[in-house]
Chains A and B, each alone.
Chain A
């Protein structure tokens, strides 16, 4: 059972005015659900029932434990409520009246919810049939307008999303304009469920999770390992053809390197806490060693490990490396969000003049992959910086940002790929380009990210000898 731990913010009047027809319908259906539950379990205590991305929910507190077996009875009662075609009638009360009304009925959550309503906003109630609910709306006109609905699942939810508060029972449901739309949605859900990689992974014995190993740390069983190794082989062959060289780097590095790269402190919360390693010599300071969350700094060190000349550029380094990222346990999801992952990571060191060609070559490589995998639809998301956040969210290099982004934009326009530009979403050190593909089930995956990095090489002091034999920064 999932458990909701986030408090929902009460919608402002303006947000309510902007609610779509579908959201009104779904929220109205939440009232119908509460009406039905109160008919079947009159001592149920009610909290709130907002619309959600997939439908709606309502939170209840009662002795009876809801289960999907109750759905048939509840849905039948809901059906009656919609058949009765009750109107949603608005009325208002003063704050004191509203609280007294709910206190009398033992609806303590509602008493507290009255105080969520800001001073000056009217305290409104909506009544359909015998059911009266504290609500600012909006709704459909009549319960009869709700023509297609279905209850989906039960979950535990803490009152106001706080673990210290009592646990409520949340019933999720959805509603659509008509039965056809509802059925189409249910079918798409079923198809997605069948394709869920967690289910396939279990059935085909591709990977497993074990509590002793830890959450977010997949164990690749033999058949899953085949997949990884075949993909790695493909990457190796494709990259070899494209002039990449493979490297290998350790999974650990000293704190100092991540300070140089800027990952510390900016990226610290996504990294596992460091290990403290004492030196044999008690006079030497204790080392702080981090598990790598990305390969880039290691690759920069490979670049600077030997003197480089302009003749070696572009230098393309690739590694199929394992990286470790700290994700909150509540956010782990199958293989989509893990704490250890194999990343096919490549870094290209080139001059500004070489950039356009290199970028084009990377895109061509993607197209090759997509053809092999049969992805027909793909698009790019070009995340740029925001000039107001220079020096805080972004490295303070106004001119370089402009130059780099223009360069990327030109290449994207010229290549004719479908892309959208998203301001203020760039990485700390440069614009990024996410490649998104669409699977058959219509789901969208970010399959690769290109990152243009003009600041970090400087921080690492990466340089090469030019024709005139003077070092130049990348």
Chain B
């Protein structure tokens, strides 16, 4: 199974399903809300608030094979959005927070991708 996926597991199986990357300190609270909302639904989610540049944090998440990265900049925070990046698919654009979360939960539940 490990070789079949070459370590790039589908969302439902991935050890690291989701990671939140707030751009700056101002977005940490917003990111934490998303984390606890996902945790409540047993999603394996982590938060990277290190001071590394956002590009470096994305690269780290990708080498660690995190399935979905959710980015929060000032723009996303103000609009109540999350910018989605998926392993192997790259940037998928920003969508409303509630939509992103329910999408993730639905995919995990049905084991789709």
With contact pairs A226-B44, A227-B9 given, residues A206 and B15 touching in the complex (Cβ less than 8 Å):
yes
Name the distance in Å between B10's Cβ and chain A's nearest Cβ. Answer: 8
Across the interface, which residues of B come within 8 angstroms of A375, CB to CB? 4
Question: Taking each of A194, A197, A375, which has the highest tally of chain B beta carbons within 10 Å of its own beta carbon?
Answer: A197
A190-239 contacts to B, CB under 8 A, are 194-197, 200-201, 203-204, 206, 222-224, 226-227, 230-231, 234
Within 8 A of B (CB), among A236-292: none
Q: Chain B: which residue is nearest A234 at the CB level?
A: B111
Lowest 4 A-B CB distances belong to which pairs? A223-B15, A197-B2, A200-B7, A226-B15
Q: Are A227 and B7 in contact (CB under 8 A)?
A: no
How many residues on A have C-beta within 8 angstroms of the other chain's C-beta atoms? 26
Give the distance in Å from the alpha carbon of A224 to the alpha carbon of B14 in the complex: 10
B1 and A373: CB pair below 8 A?
Answer: yes
Q: How far is the CB of A115 from chain B (nearest CB, A)?
A: 45
* Assembled-state Cα–Cα distance A53/B2 (Å): 25
Which of A106-114, A422-430, A438-446 lies at the interface with chain B? Answer: A438-446
Judge whether B65 and A204 touch: CB under 8 Å: yes
Q: Is the CB of A439 within 8 A of B13?
A: no
Distance (whole angstroms) from the CB of A442 to the closest CB of chain B: 11
Interface residue from B2, B4, B6, B111 paired with A206 (Cβ < 8 Å): B2
Tell me which residues across on chain A come within 8 A of B7, comparing CB atoms: 200, 203-204
B23 interface hit (Cβ, 8 Å): no
The total of Cβ contacts below 8 Å across the A-B interface reads 46
Cβ of B2 to closest chain A Cβ, rounded Å: 4
> A226-B44, A234-B111, A372-B111 are contacts. A441–B13 as well, Cβ < 8 Å?
no
* Complex A-B: 26 CB contacts under 8 Å: A194-B6, A195-B3, A195-B6, A196-B3, A197-B2, A197-B3, A200-B2, A200-B7, A201-B2, A204-B15, A204-B64, A206-B2, A224-B15, A226-B15, A227-B2, A227-B9, A230-B12, A231-B13, A335-B2, A372-B111, A373-B4, A375-B4, A439-B3, A440-B4, A441-B3, A445-B4
Q: Name B's A-contacting residues (CB within 8 A).
A: 1-4, 6-7, 9, 12-13, 15-16, 44, 64-65, 111
B2 proximity list for chain A (CB < 8 A):
197, 200-201, 206, 227, 335
Instruction: Give, as a whole number of angstroms, the nearest-CB distance from B8 to chain A.
Output: 10
Chain B hits for A194, CB < 8 A? 6
Give the distance in Å from the alpha carbon of A171 to the alpha carbon of B71 in the complex: 52
Q: Which of A200, A335, A375 has the most CB of B within 10 A?
A: A200
Q: Cα distance A440–B111 when bound, in Å?
A: 20
Instruction: State in angstroms the CA–CA spacing of A230 and B9 once bound together.
Output: 11
Assembled-state Cα–Cα distance A443/B65 (Å): 23
Q: Which residue of A lies closest to B9 (CB)?
A: A227
Q: With A200-B6, A203-B7, A234-B111 given, is the CB distance from A223 to B1 under 8 Å?
A: no
Min CB–CB distance B44 → chain A (angstroms): 7
Chain A hits for B64, CB < 8 A: 204
List of A residues within 8 angstroms of B13 by Cβ = 227, 230-231
Q: How far is the CB of B11 from the nearest CB of chain A, in Å? A: 11
- A440 CA to B8 CA in the complex, in Å? 13
A71 to chain B, nearest CB (A): 28
In the bound complex, CA of A223 to CA of B67 (Å) = 13
Give A201 to B15 CA distance when docked, in angstroms. Answer: 12
Partner of B3, one of A200, A230, A234: A200
- When chains A and B are docked, how far (Å) is the Cα of A375 from the Cα of B10? 13
Other than the known A227-B9, A231-B13, what 17 A-B pairs have Cβ atoms closer than 8 Å? A200-B3, A201-B2, A204-B64, A223-B15, A223-B16, A226-B15, A227-B1, A227-B15, A230-B13, A231-B1, A234-B111, A372-B111, A373-B4, A440-B4, A440-B6, A443-B3, A445-B4
Tell me the bound Cα distance from A334 to B1 in angstroms. 13
Nearest CB on B from A275, distance (A) = 33
Q: Which of A222, A226, A231, A234 has the most CB of B within 10 A?
A: A226
Inter-chain CA distance A227–B12, complex, in Å, is 9
